[in-house]
Amino acid sequence: MMRYLPHTGEEITQMLQTVGVNSLDDLFSEIPKDCCCRLGLRLPEAKTEWDLNEHMETLSARTAAGSGYKIFIGSGSYEHHIPAALTHLLGRSEFVTSYTPYQPEMAQGTLQAIYEYQTLVCRLLGMEVANASMYDGASSFAEALLMAVRITGKKKVLLSRAIHPHFRRVAGTYLSPTGYQIEEIPFDETGRTDPHRLLKSDDPAAIAVQSPNFFGCIEDFLPFAEFARETGALFIATFTEPLTFGVFKNPGSLGADISCGEGQSLGIPQSFGGPGLGIFSGKMKYVRSMPGRLVGKTRDLEGRQGFVLTLATREQHIRREKATSNICTNNSLCALASAIYMALLGNTGFHALALLNRDKTEYLKKGFQKAGFSIPFQSPTFNEFVVNMPAGFEKKRKTLMRKKMVAGFPISNLYPDLSDHYLFCATETKSKADLDALLEEAAS
């Protein structure tokens, strides 16, 4: 392990003299005193390596991830088994230490890994081109809306209200200072976006729909893609669970101009909220309006295969007026994790795993129905679904928590009109015994 060597006292004094101040505190003199925290860290006495390891294990055992909790929550972040081969390959030093490949000749391995990732994403989503440069699903979605505005020159975007609320909130943060208008399309009694609420007079730059949507319902993309063509808009298909496309038709086959979303479920652990992987893909004719970086394959003067940054659309690389986005990460390690995951599963394994996830969810859903609980949305679902629980269920949910069972996600804070509605998720990580135990406890 490399040790951290701080500056010496003499070096600090020299630097302070150079900038013309007497102390480190003087560097922050512009900050009001009542805004400065002077509390000490109150750290305990130093521990040996073995004592520290034992202490960390004790702390981790207090968390849901470290003490056998069964968590039936998805809501945009999903628990899946991660193959040991993925963890081993991802831990190789040449991948872990890689950075943005500014010098292609020195980063052929990193560039090829990104190229393979782009290829697998295009195959999964049925799109023509993909990048590897988004922070997470929410930023990827917001960038897609900005891209649609650039291409069409229009000022309004239509978003399904069934898109993940965090995606919509980030989109609002991106677009609100620009003067662009956001309108929401409501969902109907089936839990899916209502295409009948679209009006030709809207003349939008983009129409965005998520499938499976926040409620787990599978959307019918075709009427929205058709409306986009008729009005000269771009149709954006977003997602939080790309495993869906192992069973259902991919966005490209259903008319999407841009497909983007969260790729965390493809071999990236939940890790208490991050990191994520922003997947972004689209049609080739829009490639020069895409954000981020794209890696291409070429040959050098001697005919040898090589990989290069084909497009880099950040203002740091090109003239500012031609830049499409200032997003700077290439997320190469997370992209590599998802590429390894997809390659290890292959077409057959990806399809089989998606079927398993669908079957687990259907088993749990039918179990709730047999127990007398109300399933408000009767649309086909994948991985998660909504249950209308009896009033007072939150008290029982806290009781189940003490039994190491996290029973669903209450969505009333995000959708006030859906009080006592809970989103339940079941992936391949839950056994039949786990599902039966949840149903028994919830019905008792």
Query: Domains of the chain (ranges plus CATH)?
Result: 70-81+346-443 (3.90.1150.10), 84-342 (3.40.640.10)
Q: What percent of the chain has pLDDT over 90?
A: 69
Contacts of 236 (CB under 8 A, 6+ apart): 141, 144, 145, 148, 206, 207, 208, 209, 256, 257, 258, 259, 260
The answer to whether 312 and 293 are in contact (CB under 8 A) is yes
**Structure-block tokens of residue 402:** 């003490």
As a whole number of angstroms, the distance between CA 242 and CA 259 comes to 11
As a whole number of angstroms, the distance between CA 240 and CA 139 comes to 12
Task: Please confirm whether the linkage preceding 212 is cis (ω < 30° from 0).
Answer: yes
Output the pTM of the full model: 0.86
The pLDDT-based confidence of 195 (bands split at 50, 70, 90) is very high
The pLDDT-based confidence of 319 (bands split at 50, 70, 90) is low
423: left (phi over 0), alpha (psi -120 to 50) or beta: beta
HSE (CB half, 13 Å, CA atoms) of 329? 15
| Averaged pLDDT for residues 85-100 | 83
Burial (CB < 10 A; 0-12, 13-18, 19+), residue 272, is exposed
**Structure-block tokens of residue 56:** 């960390």
Cα dist. 44→37, 52, 55, 60, 413 in Å? Answer: 20, 11, 12, 18, 39
Determine phi and psi for 425, rounding to 5 degrees: -130, 140
pLDDT beyond 80 at 312: no
How many other C-beta atoms can be found within 10 angstroms of the C-beta atom of residue 314?
18
pLDDT beyond 50 at 358: yes
**Structure-block tokens of residue 45:** 């006495």
- DSSP-H helix ranges across 219-262: 222-231
**Structure-block tokens of residue 244:** 């869906």
Q: Is the C-alpha dihedral spanning 96, 327, 169, 227 positive or negative?
A: negative
- DSSP-H helix ranges across 81-212: 84-90, 93-96, 108-125, 137-152, 165-175
Give the pLDDT confidence score for residue 224 in this predicted structure: 97
**Poorest-confidence range of 38-47, 229-238, 258-267?**
38-47
The pLDDT-based confidence of 436 (bands split at 50, 70, 90) is very high
- pLDDT, tens only, 119-151: 999 999 999 999 987 899 999 999 999 999 999
- pLDDT, tens only, 396-422: 999 999 899 999 999 999 999 999 999
Instruction: Give the helix/strand (H/E) hosting 130.
Output: strand 129-130
The answer to whether 298 and 306 are in contact (CB under 8 A) is yes
Burial (CB < 10 A; 0-12, 13-18, 19+), residue 252, is buried
